[in-house]
Structures are given as C-alpha cells and as structure tokens.
Amino acid sequence: MLKQIAEKRGFFAALDQSGGSTPGALRHYGIADSEYSGDTEMFQLMHAMRVRIMTAPAFTGDKIIGAILFEATMDGQAENKPVPMFLWEDRGVVPFLKVDKGLETEADGVQLMKPIPGLDDLLARAVKLGIFGTKMRSVINLASKEGIAAIAKQQFEIGQQIVAHGLVPILEPEVSIKSPDKAGAESILREELLKGLDALPESSRVMLKLTIPSVPDFYRPLIEHPRVVRVVALSGGYSRSEACQKLAENHGMIASFSRALINDLKKSMSDSEFDAALAEAIDEIYEASVDKA
C-alpha cells in the first residue's frame, strides 16, 4: 500500500462527505430531502451511492490509487465484503478514513478542527478493518500568521497520534479559494508546514492535502520533503475542468477530488450512463494528475 501511495501514477477519490454536507450531496445526486427520514435513512442512501461508485468498472487502482471514506462507509459492506477489504482486494485501491468531526467557529482567520473524542478507539478499529491512513480537514480563510500557525500545530499534533497507530495521516489545512489574500495565506502555510515537517521524528511519514496554489509549483518544497509520502490537491469548489487545468500546472501534486469527481452522477442514470460519466471524470482527473514534464 505504501509503495502504491508513494509512487504510483493516479489520484485519490474523496468519498467522505458527512454530516452537514450529506443532504446537499444527495440532492445533487437527485435524492430530495423528502425521500428519507432521519440520519439512518440518509446515510443508507449515501452508502448506496458510494457503493455504486466503488463497484463501477472504471473505479480501479489503474487510475485511482486511494479512496477516502467516511466512518459509516468504512463500517459498511460492498459486494458482501467490508468496504476497506473490497477496495484493496477487489479494486486495488488503498483505503483511507476521514477522522475529523467538523470545524470550530472562525477565530484568527481560521477554523480549527473540533475535538475528536474517542480517536484512539476509532484508529484501532480502522487498523483492524484494513485502513492504511486517515484524513482531517481544517480551513484557512485569511492570511493570519497566528491562525495558520495554530492550524499547523493542531494538524501535526493529531497527526502524530495517528502515526502512533501505524497509520499514515493526511494533514488537510485547506486555504479557501475565496480568501482575499489566498497567495499570502499559502506563503504562511508553506513556512509553517515546513517547520512542522522538519520537527517530525525521522520515522514519521505524513501526507498533505492542500488547495491548488495560486503560484504553480509553489508547494514543490513540501512535495520533495523526506517526511512527506505524497501531496494531494483538493478541488476546493472549482469546477472539474478548472481544477484539472490548475492541477496540471503543479508537478508532483495529484488530485484528491470529491465534488469534482462525482458532480455529473445522477441516481436516475442507467448503469451504463452512470459508468460512462464516472469513467469520463476519472480519465480527466487522471490526466491532470500525471506529470507531463
């Protein structure tokens, strides 16, 4: 799994919408709020959508090297197998788990992660289910040195807790594409991440999930850092074509897209229409993730 994540050409499928983002994702897929009652039914419908994606012919390790799962997806089944086992054994896709519990209210221009109660128990369960790594997101809205330093500190501290379980954490300090000084925020973030990486024990390995930078190849020093397994990009609200265009300008950075991957998929599609739309999205994102130089 480590060799695939570190070296293989391809990208990540982020299938980890949860909580507040789930109703919107279902509406976009073509399931109205009136079609379910309560969280249990909502997550059952979401799981069915994710299984439809994961079992589609194009969803394989040929182009998708990793997939990020919501906790309920990790605990679910696909073709009568636990989802992490199905992804790796049947699809050749390395499974990751989203572990954060959402965002705090903005302070100092950033939104830290909420506390993650029971994290050690969750990580132990993830290891038993065959999960390789984790992902956790916080958000940077302004070019605030104090705020961004706090974001980096929290990401690295929880990251080390995850490393202690033998998992590879994806640190995701997202810079909002709506930030009034996105490039300034990215400059501060790169400095803070390099400091955090330099301070890691030699045996620690992490990944980074970052907004596509305003300046192409700006994150090359992070990509080349010896403690970094891979740097992946979030689509951040860009359309798929725009995200792919921007990503292609950044050598060594690969996609980890959610909405940009699944936005064209609808429940009403026939299986052949669904599979064709997903395959087209996979091909476009793969091409943007593969270095041309």
Catalytic residue among 172, 186, 192, 284: 172
User: Annotated catalytic, 191?
Assistant: no
User: Annotated catalytic, 209?
Assistant: yes
Three-class SS of residue 193? helix
What is the greatest pairwise CA distance in the chain? 52
Alpha-carbon distance 98 to 174, whole Å?
A: 14
Alpha-carbon distance 12 to 207, whole Å?
A: 12
250 touches 219 (CB < 8 A): yes
258 touches 14 (CB < 8 A): yes
Specify the DSSP element, H or E, that contains 50. helix 38-54
Catalytic residue among 192, 209, 246, 284: 209
- HEC string of 112-162 equals CECCCCCHHHHHHHHHHCCCCEEEEEEEECCCCHHHHHHHHHHHHHHHHHH
Catalytic residues: 172, 209
